[in-house]
A = this chain, B = another copy of it.
Amino acid sequence: MTKKPLHEDPIKHIVWTGDRLRVLDQRRLPRTVRFVTCRSAADVARATRDMVLRGAPLIGCAAAYGMALAARRNRLKDVRAASALLRRARPTAVNLMHALDHMLSVAESCPEPSLSAKMAAAAVKYREDDLGFNARMAALGAALLRPDSNVITHCNAGALATAGIGTAVGMIRAGWLAGSVAHVYPCETRPYLQGARLTLWELMQAGIPATLITDSMAAHLMKTRRIDAVIVGSDRIAANADVCNKIGTYGLAILAKHHRIPFYVVAPSTTVDFATRRGDDIPIEERSSREVVEIFGRKIAPKGAAAHHFGFDVTPHELVTAIVTEKGVVSPVNGANLRKVLRR
């Protein structure tokens, strides 16, 4: 079987037409392929909040387009209002804040009559940059892996989570093309099952050998099979290089350490939040318990059951072998090295 090249990406999950944004509804994948059309920043904010779209880099790209939509009447105050609205849509993804700050600075520095055109161009550029970042990270990351690696990944840090080929999955795809990835085990990633629904789907589409596991099987797999690396994305990286990512990541990092398996985080530099000193300062989104006690609307727990739904967790930088950014690889992982690689 011929390996599909990286740029041949069959996923059209975010389509900009100049006056609207079509967004693939990721909540129903892979069962149903349905699009949501956003005509305003409010539409983009709603789609972000309701998890129609997800993945920190993609949330940033969508927000950039949301800002472009808000600029259509060439009024700076609309753009400012949109920025405030979008900022509240998902508190953890710092790429969102980064995209909004960037788009706002574009808006502030251009005369109102040309706002619409400039903002649309800036949003398109923002997305193209993300695509480029993905390709660069994929190449840098794949070089870290030994030949024929078996790897575990968590959640979906793939094409669906970004503008392009993905962060963690981008590294995996580049590794597969280069012969450094042999087999992938995506954790299903409860409660939203992004690993089962999205990552496995992407891997199968790319023709990469993959076997799904429940989150609870990772430790057994690490003990009984040869696992060469754990590769994940990130929603926010603190100044000290602690990594916030989908719930379950921290546990995987501890298991990897116990089994002496390298633990890699792949994230664009826009994921780093130098304003947050340590990972424990990142507020962890507590989502509805309903998303835990029901699966696709079917109750899995007794009536009246209480449940926690932490959306994310924080992995201390000591547990991370390397952070792969588009500007270079941070290793050993600490705040000083992070600043050095990001040249700040």
Q: Which residues of A contact B (CB under 8 A)?
A: 30-31, 185, 187-191, 193, 196-197, 200-201, 204, 210-221, 223-224, 247-248, 250-251, 254-255, 257-258, 284, 289, 292-293, 295-296, 298-308, 310, 313-314
Given that A212-B301, A254-B254, A300-B193 are known contacts, is A219 also in contact with B308, CB under 8 Å in the complex?
no
Count of this chain's copies in the oligomeric assembly: 2
Given that A188-B190, A204-B302, A302-B204 are known contacts, is A212 also in contact with B247, CB under 8 Å in the complex?
no
CA–CA, A200 to B292, complex, Å?
A: 13
Given that A248-B216, A251-B251, A313-B219 are known contacts, is A210 also in contact with B308, CB under 8 Å in the complex?
no
Residue from A200, A214, A296 with most neighbouring chain B CB atoms (10 Å): A214
Q: Are B251 and A210 touching (Cβ within 8 A)? A: no
Query: What residues of chain B lie closer than 8 Å to A190, measured between beta carbons?
Result: 188, 190, 214-216
Q: Are B211 and A308 touching (Cβ within 8 A)? A: yes
Q: Closest B-chain residue to A215, C-beta based? A: B216
CA–CA, A314 to B296, complex, Å?
A: 32
Q: Are B30 and A302 touching (Cβ within 8 A)? A: yes
Q: Closest B-chain residue to A190, C-beta based? A: B214
Query: What residues of chain B lie closer than 8 Å to A303, measured between beta carbons?
Result: 30
Query: What residues of chain B lie closer than 8 Å to A201, measured between beta carbons?
Result: 301-302
Q: Are A211 and B254 touching (Cβ within 8 A)? A: no
Q: Are A305 and B215 touching (Cβ within 8 A)? A: no
Least distance between A231 CB and chain B CB atoms (Å): 17
Query: What residues of chain B lie closer than 8 Å to A185, measured between beta carbons?
Result: 308
Q: Are A218 and B251 touching (Cβ within 8 A)? A: yes
Q: Are A304 and B217 touching (Cβ within 8 A)? A: no
Provide a sorted-by-A list of 28 A–B residue pairs whose CB atoms are within 8 angstroms. Answer: A30-B302, A30-B303, A31-B299, A188-B300, A190-B190, A190-B215, A193-B300, A196-B301, A197-B301, A201-B301, A204-B304, A204-B305, A212-B289, A212-B306, A213-B307, A213-B308, A214-B248, A215-B216, A217-B248, A217-B313, A219-B313, A220-B247, A220-B250, A220-B284, A220-B313, A224-B284, A254-B255, A296-B300
Least distance between A157 CB and chain B CB atoms (Å): 15
Least distance between A156 CB and chain B CB atoms (Å): 13
Q: Are A254 and B258 touching (Cβ within 8 A)? A: yes
